[in-house]
Structure 1
Amino acid sequence: MNVREYTEDQEQKNLMPWACKSAASHRLTEETQDDLRTAFQRDRDRIIHSKAFRALKHKTQVYLSPGDHYRTRLTHSMEVSQISRTIGRALRLNEDMIEAAALGHDLGHTPFGHAGERAINKYTGHFTHNEQSIRVVTYYGRQGRGLNLTTEVQDAILCHTGSKLPDTPEGAIVRRCDRICYLCSDLDDGIRVGLVGPDKLPGMVAMRLGTEPTQILDILVHNIVECSAGKNKIILDSYYDEAVEEFRNFMFAYVYECPSLEKEHHKAEHVIMSLLDLYVKEPQLLPEEVRLNFERFGKMTAIVDYVAGLTDLSAVRMFNQYFVPKVSE
């Protein structure tokens, strides 16, 4: 019995009956199994070593260039992974699958966070970052072969947001933790940047969840574990779920759609739409590897893939190169 087989055997013995088991996972393109790592461990490693994952360190979470100590898409993904794994381990679910899905859930996110996503959606008529994450892992990386992730991890990535719910309890954990994590971390960053303060939280939120981001996370994580223990569903008590919804409404009103941020987000949308329009009209400006994908994916799709994969820094640099006059000192 090799290391992988031993791990798979331990999963069968120790995980809950409804947990995802590595030995039962599937890939669209079957591969020779690894001696050391399970299928979900290989998924995690492919995500971590991908170019798309590295790019997350320079992609906005909410605040555009606020400083060194604020969340990016990379740190957000790491926080979702940590919280999700804590819950998964407590519920005896597959921690490796959870980690892979959590680290990969935002691989398709655009520059400038949801502002970039809105810009591409306006330009093309349909674009969502969760669907783009699936495109990234399907077609990009490993010399164009894609990451070939397991179907279970892909389902969790696709369904971490949107109307379709995940097929697995591991995916349900990532979906739930993504929301509570971004609300708490964005509140924490909002306090740092001076947009909001703990005293501004609605009474229901303060009374049921607390006023400190770490306190809110602790309460919600414990409640999910308590309510979901011994069940094949991931449950949050309605008492807290109602407060989370109120918390979300507060964050949209005071942070995500506040005038000072919206002004910067409109600028970001302008950058993205300008680049899309430029590359559609003058595709010769694109890197050769992008133009080679015109035949494979179609011109518009290849351009969207390229622009969506840019970091905030590279998008601004390209905008300045093509749209800002060069003035000598």
Structure 2
Amino acid sequence: MTIREQTEALEERTLSPYATLAARSRGREREEELCPLRTVFARDRDRIIHCKAFRRLKYKTQVFLAPVGDHYHTRMTHTLEVAQIARTISRALRLNEDLTEAIALGHDLGHTPFGHAGERALDEIHPDGFAHHAQSLRVVKKLENDGKGLNLTWEVRDGILNHTSGSMPSTPEGRIVRLADRIAYLNHDIDDALRGGVLTDEEIPWETRYVLGRTHSQRINALVVDTVENSTGELITMSPRVEQAFLALRRFMFEQVYTNPIAKSEEGKAEYILKRLYDHFLHHTDELHAEFRRICEEDGAQTAVCDYIAGMTDRFAIQVYEDIFIPQAWNK
């Protein structure tokens, strides 16, 4: 037996009856030779970590645009925290950690620069609309690897596409990532809001502090432990008491942080930048990189321009905007 086959046999013996086994994956869109060491889900995880879109997450906004300070969260740190929370839950429920981690690491690959402000801008201007979960799937199916995509398994692609609103993921591992995403962003956004002076500890609703705890670690621990204690493996859920506190905290964050003028003060500028870039490249497709000129021929100019802008980091979008629209100093 290969090491991969030994791992698959171990999964069969030790994982929950509800776990998604690598040996029973629905497979890839294009067949390929199996790895002698890694299961198909472990291989997917590694492909995501090594892809270009994953590296760009380091310079994409989470909530605060262009924050001053080294400790604010980015799309990369958010992704890593989602993966950590999801793996903890998955391990406790004896589900497939490799699948869970692959979905978590890939779930935001299609996010725009400037966070949800960028997503709104592209959704408004692009005729087909824009949603980051659908774009994340497009990244792994087509945009990575010189247009060939990463050829991920069906289970990972399903989890990436359905990690946010809309249809539920088909696997319990995907449903764990969907919940872990919310647990992660609510808690690290509180940290960033406290650091940025948008919130104080005393403003956090007392009922959520009483149920979930006062600190970052206490809240995450309470949510994770409660999820493990109340989930069956197939059904991923919280107790009514903890879920109610969690939803109250989410409402509070939307009211006090996600629409707060301090946190959102630069979003209008960010949306303006992306809309100007979209319009410019739509009329100057010859300025696109070769890979996106190819997409112009295959899927149309609007899709190619949307792909190009969605893949930008915050700082690259600003630099491109300045290069195109801001007069440069002239040197003799």
TM-score, scaled to structure 2: 0.96
- For these two proteins, the number of residue pairs brought into alignment is 328
Q: Does 2:33 match 1:32?
A: yes
What amino acid is the match of 1:217? I
Q: Which residue of 1 aligns with 2:66?
A: 65
CA distance in 2, matches of 1:190, 1:81: 22
What is the deviation of 1:284? 1.9
Q: Structure 2 matches for 1:161-240, cutoff 5 A?
A: 161-228=164-231, 230-240=232-242
What amino acid is the match of 1:234? I
What is the deviation of 1:206? 1.6
CA distance in 1, matches of 2:209, 2:314: 34
Q: Which residue of 2 aligns with 1:127?
A: 130
Cα-to-partner distance string for 1:58-117 (whole Å, 9 max, x where unaligned): 000111121211111111100100110011000000000000000000000000110100
Match 1:316 to one of 315, 318, 331? 318
CA distance in 2, matches of 1:48, 1:181: 19
CA distance in 2, matches of 1:306, 1:53: 15
Q: Which residue of 1 aligns with 2:55?
A: 54
What is the deviation of 1:214? 1.5
CA distance in 2, matches of 1:117, 1:158: 16
Q: Which residue of 2 aligns with 1:252?
A: 254
Partner secondary structure for residue 256 of structure 1: coil
Contact 1:8 1:21 in 2 (8 A): yes
Q: Which residue of 2 aligns with 1:148?
A: 151
CA distance in 2, matches of 1:30, 1:79: 32
What amino acid is the match of 2:102? A
Q: Which residue of 2 aligns with 1:18?
A: 18
Q: Structure 2 matches for 1:267-286, cutoff 5 A?
A: 267-286=269-288
What is the deviation of 1:288? 2.4
What is the deviation of 1:199? 0.8
Change in CA separation of 1:41 and 1:56 when aligned onto 2, cut-off 3 Å: same
Partner secondary structure for residue 294 of structure 1: helix
Q: Structure 2 matches for 1:83-98, cutoff 5 A?
A: 83-98=85-100
CA distance in 2, matches of 1:45, 1:116: 28
What is the deviation of 1:238? 1.2
CA distance in 2, matches of 1:163, 1:145: 27
Contact 2:19 2:233 in 1 (8 A): no
CA distance in 2, matches of 1:268, 1:214: 32
Match 2:245 to one of 236, 243, 246? 243
Contact 1:199 1:211 in 2 (8 A): no
Percentage of identical aligned residues: 48
What is the deviation of 1:327? 4.2
Contact 1:108 1:136 in 2 (8 A): yes
Contact 2:16 2:233 in 1 (8 A): no
Q: Which moved more, 1:5-14 or 1:295-304?
A: 295-304
What is the deviation of 1:328? 5.8
Superposition CA RMSD, Å = 1.2
CA distance in 1, matches of 2:14, 2:268: 50
What amino acid is the match of 2:7? T
Contact 1:198 1:212 in 2 (8 A): no
Partner secondary structure for residue 13 of structure 2: helix
Match 1:102 to one of 83, 101, 104? 104
Partner secondary structure for residue 86 of structure 1: helix
CA distance in 2, matches of 1:152, 1:276: 33
CA distance in 1, matches of 2:267, 2:316: 16
- Structure 2 stretches of 5 or more lacking a match? none
What amino acid is the match of 1:174? V
CA distance in 1, matches of 2:215, 2:197: 15
Partner secondary structure for residue 17 of structure 2: coil
What amino acid is the match of 1:112? F
